[in-house]
Amino acid sequence: MRFPRNAHEATPLGFGSSEIRRIGEHAASSRNIEAGASLTSLIADLGGRIGNLMSGDIVESDADSLIVYRERSFLALIKEPTNPDHPNMRFELAMLIGHYVLHLHRVHAAHGVDAGMLVPFYARTRQQKACQREAVDFAVGFLVSREAFLERWNARLGSAAAVAADLAIPAKYIEAFRTAYAEASLKAA
């Protein structure tokens, strides 16, 4: 695997979670991405490819999950590239799209439009962790809008498993979605 010659770390925007989720929602709606939709064609439309993050059965401690060579040329590395529509892989891809959408322009502003960007799989520094939080918030908004989530939540009477299945979201993240989109109209299970 080759790396960009002029690669830099992502820089966080510094926005709050709800604002980043709204950016994610807007990015999905502007591309007509509906809840549960496959993200593989979007990756290709953005100029990216999907690759394998795994080295054997583990992710190497220094592995990068996103390698941006330049705008419209990047490699999104996930654990199970053979099944990118699995809910866990969709969440990973949505996070990587978040890094691409949120952070690449900052790298370009600081280092020029030919600069590349590397996003590590394991965030270690404060800056990396802040970028990771922003990418997670983006993924939440990108994968399902607040309105769509609340509609499914109420229709399924708060059944996290049913909502996860309906929206192709990992069940382990449903509580985070519910908390992010908390409202008096949410019905408890």
> What is the mean pLDDT of each successive set of 10 residues along the chain, which is 189 residues long?
81 93 95 87 92 67 83 86 84 94 94 92 93 95 90 89 90 83 53
pLDDT at residue 171, rounded to an integer: 86
pLDDT at residue 15, rounded to an integer: 96
CA atoms within 13 A on the CB side of 111: 17
Global model pTM greater than 0.85: yes
- Distance, CA of 4 to CA of 163 (rounded, Å): 40
CA atoms within 13 A on the CB side of 74: 32
- Distance, CA of 159 to CA of 152 (rounded, Å): 9
**Identity of residue 56:** G
pLDDT at residue 57, rounded to an integer: 58
pLDDT at residue 48, rounded to an integer: 93
What strands lie across the sheet with 73-78, from one edge to the other? Answer: 7-9, 116-120, 64-70, 73-78, 48-52
Residue 66 near residue 77 (C-beta atoms within 8 A): yes
Which residues, 6 or more positions from 141, have their beta carbon under 8 angstroms from its beta carbon?
Answer: 20, 21, 22, 23, 24, 25, 26, 27, 28
Rounded alpha-carbon distances, angstroms, from residue 120 to 2, 74, 184: 15, 14, 38
